[in-house]
Amino acid sequence: MDLELDGRRVMVTGASRGIGKAIAARFVAEGAQVMMCARGRDDLERAASEIDVDGRATFRTADLGDFDQIDALVDATVDEFGGIDIVVSNVSGFAGRDLATAYAVDIAGADRLIRRSLEHMADHDDANVVCIGSRAGSVGVPWMPAYAAAKAATVSLVKSMALEVARRGIRVNAVSPGDIEFPGGTWERARTENPKLFEAILKENPFRRLGRPEEVADVVAFVASRRATFMTGTNVLVDGGAARHLQL
């Protein structure tokens, strides 16, 4: 299936590792131009060099809790590519119980990023936003309530913003991963540091395994593509069936 992403101008935040890096790599492989963003320069530069094809991956550091840095990121992307077609907001403070940080990064930061980007996006269903949520936003998570609340709010933000920009033809969706394992990530550490928790999480999943970043990236690429132009205001769970509730 041709996703028709060749030449599209894409911004991906949180792109130095894990899910964000896999998303950026998927867009590059499809022929898109990708601006990768994260806070740490060394990891970000390394990630960009690993996935780049024909100069299609570039990068800029930014703290998505700082509005000035968000504005500079958007301006740099527009200067580099001449515009923006797709924004993948993979930002999270991963704040655990810290509500202030969760709000500042996951909600206020994401909202600023999207709204500033919308100023440079065409009124057409080729232009769209994908916010990365989490299964944690759909279930109770007692050890990280602020993170879970922020991800639930992310889905609400997506639904409202999708209605707000629908007349422009622009789509806004969420993709919510379940438990994803990758080098340096939470679940890789848990495998050795907290094996009881790791085994409990495995047992929660009908597949008895954790997900891979590439499995999330494939869904994001589809949702952002012209194969999904009648999809907006939707939250797609990519969690191996771990969320057992009925989504209404």
Q: Is 104 left (phi over 0), alpha (psi -120 to 50) or beta?
A: alpha
Query: CA-to-CA distance for 243 and 248, rounded, in angstroms?
Result: 13
Q: What's the token pair of residue 78?
A: 């527009």
Place of tokens 């939250």: 235
Q: In sequence order, what are the residues at sequence separation of 6 or more whose Cβ sits closer than 8 angstroms to the Cβ of residue 84?
A: 9, 10, 11, 74, 77, 78, 117, 120, 121, 127
Is 103 among the residues known to form the active site?
no
Instruction: End-to-end CA distance of the chain: give it in Å, rounded.
Output: 29
Q: In sequence order, what are the residues at sequence separation of 6 or more whose Cβ sits closer than 8 angstroms to the Cβ of residue 132?
A: 14, 19, 20, 88, 89, 90, 92, 174, 175, 176, 177, 216, 220
Task: For 14-142, list the strands marked E by DSSP.
Answer: 33-38, 57-61, 86-89, 128-132
Annotated active-site residue in 81, 103, 147, 198: 147
Query: Among all residues, which ones are annotated catalytic?
Result: 147
